[in-house]
Amino acid sequence: MTVSPLKLGFLASRNGSSLRAIMAAIEAGTLAAEARLVVSNTRAAPALSFARDHGVAAQAIATQADPDAADARLCEALQAAGVELVVLSGYLRRLGPRTLGAYRNRVLNIHPGPLPRFGGEGMYGRRVHEAVIGSGATESGVTIHLVDEIYDNGPLIAARAVPLSPGETANSLEARITELEPQFFVETLRRLASGDLALPD
């Protein structure tokens, strides 16, 4: 069976750890995908220079001054690049209605904890790990989900449990989850590319 490469666009506010892992898999020939565009809301984001160094188009689109105009620019840039699936790699801005409408059920995000229990507005990064530890839960995890208008609300696509170790702290849990996330994103995209995993229409 011939696999059509995923046509990926990436949104990253800073370093883009998952972006880097996905690009490495593409370059190694272990992921049937094409990186079409990297966009950041921060002009100095290392993700942009990384993309350019690897021959991928990169663009900064500031969002704070005029979110509606930024939404239109982002949607147009993604479509012009032929992007079919958008990957959020540490993108710290809410997507606007135009982009979400054009890419309904085609925007993927990774969350550093189980959803929906440890998600929602304000639940990101260290806050998630602190909440997991504080809850007395016996495991955390990483969750890949589709993005809609509400934080961490879209359908769940893939998840991996991470059992908590004795004496686990927010620091140690964050380190373990951060190390796991990029490769789990790559594995999930491989499943999508092979047809083993399907997104809703």
Are residues 161 and 138 in contact, defined by beta-carbon separation less than 8 angstroms?
A: no
* Domain annotation covers residue 199: no
Q: What per-residue confidence (pLDDT) applies to 92?
A: 85
From CA 56, how far away is CA 53, in angstroms rounded? 8
Distance CA 116, CA 152 (A): 7
| Number of structural domains in the chain | 1
185 is a domain residue: yes
* 79 backbone dihedrals φ, ψ, rounded to 5°: -70, -40
Count CB neighbours of 119 within 10 A. Answer: 21
1 occurs within a structural domain: no
Structural domain contains residue 159: yes
pLDDT one digit per residue (tens) for the chain, 201 residues: 456 899 999 999 999 999 999 999 999 999 999 999 999 999 999 999 999 999 999 999 999 889 999 999 999 999 999 999 999 999 989 999 999 999 999 999 999 999 999 999 999 999 999 999 999 999 999 999 999 999 999 999 999 999 999 999 999 999 999 999 999 999 999 999 999 999 998
Find the CATH number of the domain harbouring 34.
Answer: 3.40.50.170
Active site residues per annotation: 111
DSSP 8-state code for residue 199: -
Let me know if residue 164 belongs to a domain. Answer: yes
Task: Give the pLDDT confidence score for residue 132 in this predicted structure.
Answer: 97
Question: Which residue range is the domain that position 98 belongs to?
Answer: 6-194
Q: Give the residue among 44, 60, 49, 59 at the shortest CA–CA distance from 20.
A: 49
Per-residue confidence (pLDDT) for residue 4, from 0 to 100: 82
pLDDT at 1: 47
Hey, what amino acid is at 31? L
| pLDDT at residue 2 in the model | 53
How many angstroms separate the CA atoms of 181 and 128, rounded? 14
- pTM, entire model: 0.95
Q: Does the residue 23 lie in any domain?
A: yes
Exposed, middle or buried by CB within 10 Å (0-12, 13-18, 19+), for 74?
buried
In a domain, 78, yes or no: yes
Residue 200 domain-assigned (yes or no): no
